[in-house]
Amino acid sequence: MRSDIKGNISSFIITLLILFVLEIFSTALFPLFGLSSIKIPFNILIVLFLGFKINSPYLAFMILFTQYFHSFFSVEGWEMGTVAGILICLLISYLKDLLHFSSAIFTIIVTQIFQVVWFLIISGLYYLKFDGFEYIIEKFWRFIPESIIISILSPFFFSLLDKIWNVGEGGMLGDEA
């Protein structure tokens, strides 16, 4: 496995800067347009991209830093997102050979499926924490439009991150040449 730590760090910092801008957009500008209840979870897209395209021994730390950075803009805990992100990336690693992003529609569908899995993991953790379904049901109704928006944005977002991380079309960073 090729491991270019210097390239990974610079790409990851750029990715976090993009997350910073998108989080500001989502938390500050959406309420100006009357969309205060919708907060687009761009952190999930970044974690999914890392799981799909980056093959690094530091993947868990990248997920941790992404979720911690997201927690500056959210009341949701970074620890639950980190656990969900690592579990999702483990699932992706088992299914990686079956997943090829050959079209925008397939990217949208796969992103939506993994967001549902993410929601189920987070819901299970919230159930353990609160011992009730009230918050989960409320969160579910917000999850539907947010996940659809994220899924529709995923082909564009993944192609942008492909360029930042220098990942070839359909390839993975960290695979042997």
129-149 in b/e form (b: 16+ CB < 10 A) is eeeeeeebeeeeeebeebbee
The residue with tokens 């959406």 is: 30
CA torsion angle 159 157 77 125 (round to 10):
-80
Residue 21 to residue 16: CA distance in whole angstroms = 9
55 within 8 A of 173, measured Cβ to Cβ: yes
Say how many C-beta atoms besides its own lie within 10 A of residue 160's C-beta. Answer: 14
Please state the rounded mean pLDDT for residues 121-145: 84
pLDDT at 174: 57
Q: Which residues contact 51 (CB under 8 A, 6 or more apart)?
A: 59, 85, 88, 89, 92, 93
pLDDT of amino acid 172: 61
pLDDT band at 175 (very low <50, low <70, confident <90, very high): low
Q: Whole-angstrom Cα distance, residue 78 to residue 57?
A: 20
What is the pLDDT at residue 176? Answer: 46
Query: Per-residue confidence at 40, pLDDT binned at 50, 70, 90?
Result: confident
Q: 24 with 77: CB under 8 angstroms?
A: no
| pLDDT, tens digit (0-9, with 9 covering 90-100), for 95-114 | 988 877 788 999 999 999 99
**pLDDT given for residue 1 in this prediction:** 32
What is the pTM (predicted TM-score) of this model?
0.87
Q: Where do the structural domains in the chain lie, given as residue ranges?
A: 5-165
- Among 22-26, 77-81, 134-138, the range scoring the smallest mean pLDDT is 134-138
Q: Is the pLDDT of residue 61 over 60?
A: yes
Residue 106 is predicted with a pLDDT of 92
Cα-only R_g, the chain: 16
